[in-house]
Amino acid sequence: MSDTSLSFPLNLPRGVTSISRDAYDLHMIALWLCVAIGIIVFGAILWVVIYHRKSRGAVAASFHDHTPLEIAWTLVPFLILVALAFPATSALMRGADTSAADVTIRITGQQWRWRYDYVNEGFGFLSSLDAKSAEASRRDSGIDPHTVKNYLLEVDNPLVVPVGKKIRFLATASDVIHSWWIPDLGVKKDAIPGFINEMWARVDEPGTYRGQCTELCGVGHGFMPIVMVAMDEADYQKWVATKKTAQATAAASAGRTYTREEMMTQGKAVYERMCVACHQPGGEGIPNVFKPLKASPVANGPLAAHLDTVMNGKTGTAMQAFAGQLSDLEIAAVITYERNSWGNSAGDMVQSAQVKSARK
């Protein structure tokens, strides 16, 4: 829903794309046809009940077939369906045409966040649940979710698109099936590992539009919202330039050697963004669900085993692989943070060069 949508709408949103408006118009046509048919059918039943009941001396007619009536109740629904089929088929064909796109964005669903790669521009980023919603959703947080604006519908890095341009979306997943859906766009596609689904949209109005994953994808399913910001072309190009500059700066600084303090600061930020929902702020985990990192054999054991667990996950558990989600520097920083926090005393640290070497 958009930020201006009603909290409890009584109808489908009309949306801000031609696809969503086509769907809305077809829905309303079908709705009013159903209303008209319902009035006719139930009106006839009510009239029969009132004026042809036994207490009024009505006697049932004794006929077996009525050919004209049978033809009518077969032909009329058929004609209605044919009449609906033409605009519906036209709308489906328009919705399936992803050619001549101005911008192509690859959407990758991951447990439990989204990755957006701007294919034409050569950059990408992760979009995760925002820190305020994540904090309020934690067990025993003491925070009333009603006090958090856009609770569970806000992210740290929103998807940004230009207004008036045809956007082609390529949906896939890296682990399990997810589903990408923004009601105001009128598009929804499953994100399936090893498969790419295509969809498109042209947003007509600047604004912020929100959606969610609509495929049950695990314990964090309710915590992977979608936020899309549509802005004018000039503002969009400024945003693209900013993202490219930030990516280039990160790439240039990734290879240098960082101090322990720098790695701990960056590691804490990565941990709070990617790990805290399962392992909790103090590394205590969730009993019988997620193992603690505090005083754990992993965080205090061999560095190579810790690195392998973070990068490749652990089979048979909810621990997912982060090699494809985090950069070398982010992995090095978060491992350093985990091995030197909450009383863990491994005392060592990891540099991005070690992570890069482990990828080979």
Task: From 59, 79, 96, give the residue that closes a domain.
Answer: 96
Q: What is the pTM of this model?
A: 0.80
Same domain, 166 and 296: no
Same domain, 85 and 137: no
Residue keyed to tokens 């009518």 = 72
Predicted confidence (pLDDT) at residue 169 exceeds the cutoff of 80: yes
Cα atoms in the 13 Å half-sphere on the side-chain side of 298: 17
Q: What pLDDT was estimated at residue 360?
A: 66
- The pair of structure tokens assigned to 253 is 């600084």
- Report the amino acid identity of residue 350: V
Residue 318 lies in a domain: yes
- pLDDT tens digits for range 43-63: 999 998 998 888 888 888 777
CA distances, 56 to each of 48, 52, 53, 338 (Å): 11, 7, 6, 85
Please state the rounded mean pLDDT for residues 162-179: 95
Same domain, 302 and 315: yes
Decide: 172 and 108 in contact? Cβ < 8 Å: yes
Average pLDDT of the chain to the nearest whole number: 89
Q: What pLDDT was estimated at residue 154?
A: 95
Residue keyed to tokens 């058929």 = 78
Task: From 252, 278, 307, give the residue that closes a domain.
Answer: 252
Task: From 196, 221, 252, give the residue that closes a domain.
Answer: 252
Strand 225-231 to 159-162 pairing = parallel
Q: Which of 311, 109, 94 minimizes the C-alpha distance to 195?
A: 109
Same domain, 85 and 125: no
Q: What pLDDT was estimated at residue 62?
A: 78
- Give the whole-angstrom CA distance, residue 336 versus residue 332: 6
- pLDDT tens digits for range 134-145: 888 877 788 898
Predicted confidence (pLDDT) at residue 164 exceeds the cutoff of 90: yes
Please state the rounded mean pLDDT for residues 151-173: 96
CATH number (domain holding residue 77): 1.10.287.90
- pLDDT tens digits for range 174-198: 889 999 999 999 999 999 999 999 9
Same domain, 115 and 244: yes
38: part of which helix (H) or strand (E)? helix 18-51
Please state the rounded mean pLDDT for residues 115-120: 95
Q: Who contacts 274 (Cβ-Cβ below 8 Å, separation ≥6)?
A: 128, 322, 325, 326, 334
Domain that holds residue 346: 256-359
Per-residue confidence at 257, pLDDT binned at 50, 70, 90? confident
Same domain, 343 and 294: yes
Q: What pLDDT was estimated at residue 225?
A: 96
Residue 353 lies in a domain: yes
Per-residue confidence at 272, pLDDT binned at 50, 70, 90? confident
327: part of which helix (H) or strand (E)? none
CA distances, 172 to each of 105, 107, 180, 299 (Å): 11, 6, 9, 33
